[in-house]
Amino acid sequence: MRLDKFICKSTELSRNEAKSLLKQGEVRVNGEVIKNPATQVHENNEITVDGQSLMARTSRYIMMNKPLDTICSNVDENHPSLLHLVEVDKAFDLHIAGRLDVDTTGLVLITDDGRWSHNIISPKKLCKKTYRVWLRNSLDEAIIEQFKLGVQLQGESSLTQPAQLIVAEGCDDKKEVLLTITEGKYHQVKRMFAAVFNRVVGLHREQIGDIVLPDDLALGQWRHLTEEEVNSVS
């Protein structure tokens, strides 16, 4: 973790205030004065400000059922950040592990633990994400096999990783499906169906890894992850 971030996480100081302390030479790491805010520190380092030892707050792990017309960003743009909905101290010090488009709803994971979120978003980890997808046209059964092999996306030089595609239970018109992928390419779900001449008209993420969005968590609501859910990401 960056030293300035550690200071913010263990005090009520802003990032600018932490940098000012560093510049003044008031921060020591293992007894050595450190002025570079980007210096990487770890939990076992002894970090002091004006002789007082700092201890970072416990990392936070949150799930949200993202509503429409919010963005997975720490900065408001044409739409507001979903972090406005998270009623915790210093919510904007958190980050979103695995983003969703503004017109997509469902499970997002929010944390201030960068190593934990890396295990979700790193392509090497092949973390599974399951989406409920509503399509313009009925699903051609042959597409299920095509998705298993990988799909050629426009502008990509290689096929997508194998994906699991099934028709949603009770859907007779085959316009509602469940798709599980292990990648996070830009607009990937929409582009996969566009590649097979179909169109996504609704998209909702239901699962990341072993973490499932509960039925009783309404759009816009959030809760802290359980210890079991946190530990499931590795």
Adjacent-strand bridge partners of 76: none
Name the strand (E) or helix (H) holding 181: strand 176-181
**What is the DSSP pairing of strand 200-208 with strand 222-224?**
unpaired
Backbone CA torsion sign across 17, 19, 25, 31: positive
CA-to-CA separations, 165 to 81, 83, 133, 153, 215, in angstroms, rounded: 31, 31, 10, 16, 21
Catalytic residue flag (residue 101): yes
Catalytic position from the list 101, 112, 113, 216: 101
Catalytic positions, written as ranges: 101
